[in-house]
Structure 1
C-alpha cells in the first residue's frame, strides 16, 4: 500500500509511520521540516507548511497514494488547505474525544449528569474552541470544524482518548515519574475516582492500520478509540508506580491541598469514559491490556527523562503536613 501521512514526525503520526514502514508499505510524510528525527524509518518526505499544501499537490498525486492519513488537522483552515488537493482515495483523520459535550462539562466543572460510556452518537460540545485564551497556541483549535469536511469526502474519523506512550510531548505519566526519580515515599492525592479513558500510542497506530485495511467498513464512519478497561485516576497512578518499581504511598488529602500538577486526582465534575466497541466490531481492532501498555510507556519515559523536570516538592510537603 502507498500511503501519504500529513504530519508524521512526532508522537502519534510518527508511530503510524513506523508501523506502516514496518509492514513494508510505501510512505511519504508531508510536514514542515522542523522536526525530522534521525531514527525515523526510511521513507519519502515533502517539506511544506500546511497552508501552502497546494505547492506540493502535484507531487502528492504523482506518488499515486492508495490512502491518506491526516495526523495533524487542528483547525478549519488546516482542513481547507489540503482537502481540495487530495486524490480521491480513503482518508483517515485523527480526531479527539474532546468533541463531546461531556468534555465541555468537565472543563467547566459542571456536574450535569450525562449517560456513560460515551458512544459515537453522544451529544457534542455546544461551545466552540475549547482551549481559546489559555495561552497554549490552540485558540483556533476545534476538531468540530475539521471532522465534517473529512466525513463529507467519505473519510474515516478516529476520536482518540487520552493518548500516552513513547515520544509523548505531554509526558502524561511525568507528574508521577518526577516523584519516582526523586525517591518520594508519599504522594498527596485527591479522591482520584475519575474515569478518563486513555489509549497507548501503539493502539492508535493499530487502529489506523485497521481502518486502512478495511476501507469498505471504515468509509464515512466515526470511531471512538480507547482502552478496553479504564482504571480510576488513582488506579492509573498505582499502575505507573508499579511499572516503575516504586512503592510510594498515595496519601489522600483534601482537594484544596492537592498540588497543582496532581490536579487530575481531585474530584472531577465528569467522567470521560469512552465506548470503543464499534471499532472492534467493524475494524477488528483490539487495544492492549492497560497494565501492559502503561508499563511499556513508563519504561520508555524512565529511560528518556525530561531535562527540565521540576525538583521542587514544597507543595507536596505542605499538603502532607496538613
Structure 2
C-alpha cells in the first residue's frame, strides 16, 4: 500500500515537472523575438559604440585605435561640461514645476464629477500627442520680439518687449516652458491613476478625525504615491536633460550657446567634427552621468514597496 502511494506521488511529481518544463520552453519561445530585437538594436550597437569610442574613426577612413584619447578630450572639454551644467539647470526649470502642476491637476481631476474629469484628462493629454517640432514653431511665434503674443500681452501693462529666445538671460527659460507643457499630460495621467488607486477608506477615516485637504495630502496622498513620484522624478530628469528637439528648432543652441544642451552639443560635434569617436565618447560619458545621478536619487529617496 505504501509503495503504491509513493509510486503515485512520483508520477504526480513527474507530470508536474514535465508541465513546468513545457511551460518554460513556451516562455522562452515567446521571449526569443524580444531578445533578438534587443540584441540587434540595443546590445550590439552599444558594444560597437564602445569599440568606436576608443578609435580615431570617421566616415572617410578605417578606425585607428587611440586608447582613451577621445575620453580624455571629452573630460577636459569645458564646452561639454558647460552643456551638462546647462542640462541640470534645464532639469531644475522643468521637472519640479511639471511635477507640482501635474499633482494639483490630478488632485482636481479626482475631486470633480466623472464626466468633467474625462474632459479634463483629454484636454491635458492633447499636448502629449503634438510633435515637438510643431510645438517649437508655435512657441517661436509666441516669443517673437515684434509681433509675438507674449510681448503684445506685456505691452498692455506698459512692459517693453523682451527678446525671449534672443537674449541669453531668457532663452533657456523660454525653452523650459514648452517642455513643461509637453510633458505635463502624461505625468498628470499617471498621477491620476495613482490617486485613484489609493483606498478611499484612508480619506474617510481622516475626514472623521477632522483632517483638511492639506493634511490628507501630506499624510495620505504623498506617502501612498511615493514610488510613482520617484518614477516620475527619474523619467522626468532623464527626459529633460536629454531634450534635443526644442533647442534645435527654437534657437539652434544659441544665443551664445545658452541653450546648447548635452544632446545638441553631441549632435553638433557629430555633424561637424571629422572624428566621430569624440561624439561617441561624449555620449558614453553622458550615459555614465545619467546613470550616476539616477542611482543617487534611488539611494536618497526611499523606494521600498508600500504595504497596506
TM-score bracket, shorter-length normalisation: under 0.3
Higher alpha-carbon Rg: 2
Give TM-score scaled by structure 2 length: 0.22
Greater relative contact order (Cα 8 A, min sep 6): structure 1 or 2? 2
Flag the structure with higher helix content: 2
